[in-house]
Structure 1
Amino acid sequence: MVSLTTPLCDFGWQAPDFLLPGTDGRQHGPASARGPRGLLVIFICNHCPYVKAILERLVRDCRELRDHHGIGSIAVMSNDTAAYPEDGFAQMQALASQWDLPFPYVLDDSQAVARAYGAVCTPDFFGFNADLQLQYRGRLDDTGRNAPRPDARRELFEAMTLVAAGGRGPAEQTPSIGCSLKWRDT
């Protein structure tokens, strides 16, 4: 497991389109997942300890962003499932059901979406405004894969609330950190 840090936000970068199979049996992409005030694209997987550590808070924040701020979310799993079978589609379906995910969880089997977005780790967050222009490329909070602290700032939630209110993310952003994406040998 390699811990990587994401690049800084490229404000205004346009969200690449995609359509991928979801754990619910339907196809999803930015058009179907976005809310009226924006979209959060999240690269996650089942086995990563960083994702496991934040999943409860991520579900809470995405539900609140959807219900109170008009921000839709979609989670993309791009890891090589042959090398990491715990990230396979059946396991994704089980995780989606167990956590009652408030967003589509889709499989990027070709890894083309991860490449188009420049995703580097799990979790990796891309927060877009209503025009699908990038406004946030930061972390959920400062806990990493440690236990949550009651005083931890909800950095992702606060940033996306700003995006929902005014279309712009915060100027100061701290990159996310996590396990490297598991690329297929080419």
Structure 2
Amino acid sequence: MAVSTPVCDFGLRAPDFALSDPDGKVFSLQDVAGPRGTLVMFICNHCPYVQAIIDRIQRDAAGLRELGIGVVAISANDVETYPQDGPEQMKELARKHGFTFPYLYDESQQVARAYDAQCTPDFFGYNAALELQYRGRLDSSGRNAGDPLARRELYEAMAQIAETGHGPQEQIASMGCSIKWRS
């Protein structure tokens, strides 16, 4: 079932974390934060909404890093119910799509809860002070990739944050598959 994210709570501080990638390397929020802002994405392997935009996520992440935005992706799904979202499969997805950012596993789901992540994909865009400035969608794609020339809403918002420290007042919520919480 499709779920939408809540409206951006401007100024909300980014919760800290320490999570491992599939190789066991631990990353904290400070490790991934960029000098001009940080993008925290909750994604997973199996979600058709993520699959439809995974190449666009990589494209925009690479561009944002050039603007001084740190980028990280986190998977928090219950891997007992969704084994295709497990660490080995995460590693393969990151390799296949050439991720230029850490893809971390939130086994306890505590980080996803601290961020109030609702769905995959769920995007949290922070300024240099780690204050929330964007909680919207990547672009107009849904379960299927949209027009290749679609407005790059996430990229534009993060570029604005990198330049001004403030996100756009108007944001369209991201939509995707619900986070698969453990029982």
Number of the residue aligned with 2:2:
3
By how many angstroms is 1:143 displaced? 1.4
> RMSD over aligned Cα, in angstroms?
0.8
The equivalences for 1:50-69 within 5 A come to: 50-67=49-66, 69=67
Which TM-score applies when normalising by structure 1?
A: 0.96
Q: Deviations over 1:149-177 (max 9, x none)?
A: 13310000000000000000000000000
Q: Which residue of 2 aligns with 1:31?
A: 30
CA distance in 2, matches of 1:54, 1:170: 22
CA drift of 1:4 comes to: 0.3
Rounded Cα–Cα distance in structure 1 between residues aligned with 2:48 and 2:3: 13
Partner of residue 118, structure 2: 120
Per the TM alignment, residue 23 of structure 1 is displaced from its structure 2 partner at its CA by 2.8
2:14 is equivalent to residue 15 of structure 1? yes
Q: Which residue of 1 aligns with 2:176?
A: 178
State the shift of 1:148 in Å.
2.8
Q: What's the CA shift for 1:24?
A: 4.3
In the alignment, the residues of structure 2 paired with residue 97 and residue 143 of structure 1 have an alpha-carbon distance, to the nearest angstrom, of 23
2:88 is paired with a residue of what secondary structure?
A: helix
TM-score (norm 2): 0.98
Q: Is the Cα contact below 8 Å between 1:29 and 1:74 reproduced in 2?
A: no
Instruction: Indicate if the aligned counterparts of 2:61 and 2:100 stay in contact, CA closer than 8 A.
Output: yes
**Which consecutive unaligned segments of at least 5 residues does structure 1 have?**
none
- What is the deviation of 1:127? 0.2
Residue in 2 that maps onto 1:110 = 108
Q: 2:88 aligns with which of 90, 95, 99?
A: 90
The one-character-per-residue Cα deviations of 1:75-130 (angstroms, maximum 9, x if unpaired) are 00000000000001110111111111011000000000000000000000000000
Structure 1 stretches of at least 4 aligned residues deviating more than 6 Å after TM superposition = none
Tell me by how many angstroms 1:144 deviates: 1.2
Which segments of 5 or more consecutive residues in structure 2 lack a partner in the other structure? none
How many residue pairs get aligned? The number is: 183
CA distance in 1, matches of 2:147, 2:57: 14
Note if contact 2:140-2:150 (Cα within 8 Å) is conserved in structure 1.
yes
The amino acid across from 1:153 in the alignment is: R
CA distance in 2, matches of 1:19, 1:39: 15
